[in-house]
Amino acid sequence: MKKCYLLLAITIGSIHAGAQPFITYGNNVVTKQEFLKAYNKNKTQVTDKEKSLREYVELYSNFKLKVKEAADLRLDSLPQIQYDIRNFREQVIENYLNDEKGISKLMDEAFVRSQKDLHVIHFSAPVAAGATAADTAKSYAAIMSLY
């Protein structure tokens, strides 16, 4: 039993060690991986990467604080905000669904896959529910003889 607790403690410790807290605001934590994902997603061409990272830390932490404050004030439940969100979704969904690069990539992948024909045959040999091992072996041998 002690080994189970030790294994559980090691597992939990390793999970928490992998998620390094980068920014903490209130009870919330932003991990290094989450920050870098957001930074790389919104990255522009810069000459001084360190300065760019410092500026983005400031922007990102301000953004997170504003989102937390809005959630605390329950601004997302206001009718005007819900209306704006619906309008924004309607505007964005058109571009999302008609993404030319994505559609082109999927079409190219489908074309490449269509160049290779697979001929698949499924063999089935019925075996009764109460069949003996000999009956099962007989059905198996019948299927294997078709190869």
The structure tokens listed for 80 are 């005007």
Q: Determine contact, residues 56/22, Cβ cutoff 8 Å.
A: no
Q: Determine contact, residues 32/66, Cβ cutoff 8 Å.
A: no
* Residue 112 pLDDT: 94
* Residue 133 pLDDT: 92
* Residue 108 pLDDT: 95
* Residue 105 pLDDT: 93
Q: What is the pTM of this model?
A: 0.47
* Residue 117 pLDDT: 85
Q: Determine contact, residues 44/34, Cβ cutoff 8 Å.
A: no
Listed by start position, the domains of the chain span: 21-102
Mean pLDDT by 10 residues, the chain (147 residues): 50 57 83 87 79 87 87 87 88 80 91 89 84 90 85
* Residue 109 pLDDT: 95
The rounded distance, in Å, linking the Cα atoms of 88 and 80 is 12
